[in-house]
Amino acid sequence: MVVLLIVLITAACAPKHTGEHGTIDPEASKTWNDKSASLNQDGRYPAAAEAADRAIRYDPNNAFAWNNKCVALIGIGDHAGALEAADRSLGLLPNNALAWSNKGVVLRLQGRYDEALAATEQALKLDPRNALIWYNKACYAALKNAREDALASLARAFLLDGRLKAEAGREPDLEGLWNDPELKKLVQ
């Protein structure tokens, strides 16, 4: 189970832009973006994608709405659309660790493990204390049979959030490590 990261954004953090297609309404965009994030958290991905689209209509430069659209499209199974949304988000806000992490999720789902690892490395440069991003990195490394990198990333994830230990023993991406004595030590 790769972990998606969803962001709720406050109005103070929302980027303000003027658009070329008329009046931009950042407050309406924020409202729909928050709705999209909430729907994503509830697993209601089609409705979340629709809410993200509305947020984007109100402000096409809302990087957070594009990121929430990415999450919704991952949930729907539209990986090509999700990757496009992640890239749009990153084009607007390249220092968004969550968007980099979600791009890694999409790339992993497409079987592009090297690119997934590269996107996750970008996320970790921006947010090195995020246990879920370290956990995802471990999954991608394990899928590439990069045992040492996977175990080191898991150790870091568990140090930051010990609750993730319970996931490792049933994580399909880590199946190749389930019988590894080092993993067994880490999850104790």
pLDDT at position 24 is 83
Measure the CA–CA gap between 110 and 118, rounded to whole angstroms: 14
Q: Which of 2-6, 15-19, 77-81, 102-106 has the lowest mean pLDDT?
A: 15-19
Widest pairwise Cα distance in the chain:
61
Q: Which residues contact 39 (CB under 8 A, 6 or more apart)?
A: 45, 47, 48, 51, 72
Q: Which residues contact 58 (CB under 8 A, 6 or more apart)?
A: 24, 25, 26, 28, 29, 32
- Per residue in 125-135, pLDDT tens? 999 999 999 99
- 73: Cα separation from own chain's centroid: 12
**What is the topology classification, in CATH, of domain 1-127?**
1.25.40
Residue environment code for 170-185, b if the CB has 16+ CB neighbours within 10 A, otherwise e: ebebbeebeeeeebee
- 177: Cα separation from own chain's centroid: 23
**Domains of the chain, residue spans:** 1-127, 130-188
Which phi-psi region, left, alpha or beta, contains residue 111 (left: φ > 0; alpha: ψ -120 to 50)?
A: left
- Per residue in 153-180, pLDDT tens? 999 999 999 999 999 989 999 999 999 9
State the average pLDDT over residues 36-45: 97
Given a cut of 70, is residue 13 above it in pLDDT?
Answer: no
pTM of the model: 0.86
Given a cut of 50, is residue 10 above it in pLDDT?
Answer: no
Overall size of the chain counted in residues: 188
- Give the whole-number percent of the chain exceeding pLDDT 90: 86
